Amino acid sequence: MAGMGKTAADVIKYAQENGAKVVDLKFVDLPGLWHHFSIPVSELTEDLFAEGIGFDGSSIRGFQRIEESDMNLFLDPETAVMDPVTEVPTLSVICNVRSPITNESYSRDPRYVAQKAEAFLKTSGVGDTSYWGPEAECFIFDGIRFDQNAQSGYYFIESEEGIWNSGKAEGQNLGYKPRHKGGYFPVAPMDSLQDVRTEIMLTMQDVGVPVEMHHHEVATAGQAEFDIRYDTLVRMGDHVMMYKYVAKNVAFKHGKTVTFMPKPIFGDNGSGMHTHQSIWKNGKNVFHDASGAYAQLSDTALYYIGGLLKHAAAILAFAAPTTNSYRRLVPGYEAPVKLAYSQANRSACIRIPIYSASEKAKRIEFRPPDPSCNPYLAFPAMLMAGLDGVKKRIHPGEALDKDLYDLPPEEALAVKSTPGSLAEVLAALRADHDFLLEGGVFTQDLIDTWIDWKTENEVDAVALRPHPYEFFLYYDI
């Protein structure tokens, strides 16, 4: 359903023209998973758009307590598409959450945070539009088994592509399995997932998520990347959510499973979400300066980089928000752990792509985020950090145009690294979040809820459980 400025009447007509029998209402919880419920298409009226529809907010992670559980969903007409994976013709609509008492937008609705970030940019004077282009990697496995209980803890990844199956008696083993770190761009039969990825890409295109390319990524066992064409902040949040939905369901149809865990495989590269970003004002890219002293970057772009570097630890509480994220952000696996910036340099956490000298192409790429994040929170956190850098004229210092993975020890010590755990970035967020509160984009309540929820349900939960490798290390002591 192309075009902007769609109305309720447009959506109703679109549903009729496409023979929709069901309307699926989708919204996102605080950690970043879509939830939904469905109504018959006969309930799709202009009154529904105006009045909303109720649901129980106490059952949604990070939302309301049970004594204040009533919430309302309001349909966003701009997001209406025919659901790409249902057998019954179904209209899919992304919704915003509001309080039924005040009819105000719900402060813990992540999509509302993204909307407020876009509005804040317009009032900042720095620009009127930000563009976002994430490279959200994933793994496509053939199966997964995992469990954790009082007497055991394990996971088993199944992948016909996995190099560990090179000697497996699997009928007639035909080989062609990508080695560790050997999965970048091989053709078939080494790349066994071309058609599955293509179907994911085409399905995304069908629902208005433009994909610039797809390919096999570096790791063995079906690592994949889909590059989504840049778009505005809220719209890109919607695209990332739809991408995850499509990828999981198309793979499921083929008897495969997709994970956006940053580091599911030991000893090989993890999945990142390198995030390209730029700010525009009155149709001009404010990051571009043809006479800029470095990489044709404007002073605004340099200050924006300064803000990202200064607040990197706090940003990662939203942009790399799982304990597993810090299995990826370690040296040795092409992970961007050094807090520096450089042109065309993938060892720095901020890269300035130089494929093109065009003003339109000038952008910065922040590389530490990963696809376990909630995009409606991660993108605003990056934007607010960058804008803080512009406001305070935080210069990032000199660029480091060298391989940061192979610095002499004394030089390496001089370059700060990303934190090493979720607990560390949550502590950083607790100490450094005033920049997020500017303009009411994030609220203190949301930040406190995020820290408490992540600490209790992830940091503490993982820390309390014996790790299988601890038995190897300690069983016989």
Task: Give 259-299 pLDDT, tens digit per residue.
Answer: 999 999 999 999 999 999 999 999 999 999 998 889 999 99
Which segments of 397-443 does DSSP mark as H helices, in order? 409-414, 422-431, 434-437
Q: Is 137 a catalytic residue?
A: yes
**How confident is residue 439, by pLDDT bands cut at 50, 70 and 90?**
very high
Which segments of 18-92 does DSSP mark as H helices, in order? 46-51
Name the residue among 123, 126, 116 with its Cα closest to residue 391. 126
Mapped onto helix, strand or coil, the DSSP state of residue 131 is strand
* CA pair distance 38, 24, nearest whole angstrom: 4
Architecture of the CATH domain 8-106: Roll (3.10)
Q: Is 370 a catalytic residue?
A: no
Average confidence (pLDDT) over 58-74: 80
Q: Which residue has the tokens 């992670």?
A: 61
Other Cβ atoms less than 10 A from the Cβ of 473: the count is 9
**Residues 372 and 324 sit within 8 Å (Cβ to Cβ):** yes
Catalytic annotation, pick one of 367, 370, 388, 433: 367
- Return the pLDDT at 404: 72
Peptide bond into 189 cis (omega under 30): yes
Name the residue among 201, 192, 257, 256 with its Cα closest to residue 225. 201
Q: Which residue has the tokens 């192979």?
A: 406
- Encode pLDDT of 178-190 as tens digits: 999 888 888 999 8
- Encode pLDDT of 315-352 as tens digits: 999 999 999 999 999 877 678 888 999 986 667 899 99
DSSP 236-285: HHHHHHHHHHHHHHHHHHTT-EEE--S--STTS----EEEEEEEEETTEE
Read off the tokens for 241.
């959510």
- Lowest mean pLDDT of 38-47, 56-65, 94-103, 174-183, name the range: 56-65
* CA pair distance 183, 197, nearest whole angstrom: 15
**How confident is residue 400, by pLDDT bands cut at 50, 70 and 90?**
confident
pLDDT at 220 over 60: yes
**Residues 297 and 353 sit within 8 Å (Cβ to Cβ):** no
Catalytic annotation, pick one of 35, 36, 254, 346: 346
User: How high is the mean pLDDT of the chain?
Assistant: 93
pLDDT at 87 over 60: yes
pLDDT at 3 over 60: no
Read off the tokens for 283.
């149709």
List strand residue ranges (DSSP E) for 321-374, in order.
338-343, 348-352, 364-366
Average confidence (pLDDT) over 35-59: 93
Type of residue numbered 118: E
Domain ranges of the chain: 8-106, 129-474
Read off the tokens for 345.
């340099």
Average confidence (pLDDT) over 134-158: 95
Catalytic annotation, pick one of 274, 276, 288, 311: 274
Highest mean pLDDT among 358-362, 407-411, 441-445: 441-445
- Lowest mean pLDDT of 34-43, 114-123, 271-280, 327-336, name the range: 327-336
* CA pair distance 159, 223, nearest whole angstrom: 11
Q: Is 78 a catalytic residue?
A: no
pTM of the predicted model, to two decimals?
0.95
- Return the pLDDT at 385: 98
Task: Taking the CA atoms of 446, 382, 93 and 112 in sequence, report the sign of the dihedral they define.
Answer: positive
- Return the pLDDT at 346: 67
Read off the tokens for 132.
């976002």
- Return the pLDDT at 409: 78
Q: Is 191 a catalytic residue?
A: no
Backbone angles phi, psi at 217, to 5 degrees: -95, -175
Q: Which residues contact 203 (CB under 8 A, 6 or more apart)?
A: 84, 85, 246, 250
Other Cβ atoms less than 10 A from the Cβ of 368: the count is 28
Q: What percentage of residues in the chain have a pLDDT greater than 90?
A: 78
Q: Is 351 a catalytic residue?
A: no
Cα dihedral angle (177, 334, 387, 132), rounded to 10 degrees? -20
Q: Is 274 a catalytic residue?
A: yes
Q: What is the DSSP code (8-state) at residue 440?
A: G
Name the residue among 255, 264, 254 with its Cα closest to residue 162. 264
* CA pair distance 181, 192, nearest whole angstrom: 16
Q: Which residues contact 63 (CB under 8 A, 6 or more apart)?
A: 29, 30, 57, 71, 97, 106, 108
Catalytic annotation, pick one of 191, 365, 388, 458: 365
Domain 8-106 and domain 129-474 have a common topology = no
**Residues 381 and 369 sit within 8 Å (Cβ to Cβ):** no
- Encode pLDDT of 351-374 as tens digits: 998 866 788 889 999 999 999 999
Question: Do β-strands 70-75 and 223-228 pair in parallel, antiparallel, or remain unpaired?
Answer: unpaired
Q: Is 212 a catalytic residue?
A: no
- Encode pLDDT of 235-251 as tens digits: 999 999 999 999 999 99
Read off the tokens for 37.
């419920």
Catalytic annotation, pick one of 76, 135, 370, 388: 135
Q: Is 118 a catalytic residue?
A: no
- Encode pLDDT of 410-428 as tens digits: 777 778 899 999 999 999 9
**How confident is residue 68, by pLDDT bands cut at 50, 70 and 90?**
low
Q: Name the fold adopted by 129-474.
A: Creatine Kinase; Chain A, domain 2 (3.30.590)
Catalytic annotation, pick one of 76, 160, 225, 227: 225
Catalytic annotation, pick one of 29, 76, 78, 217: 217
Q: Is 56 a catalytic residue?
A: yes
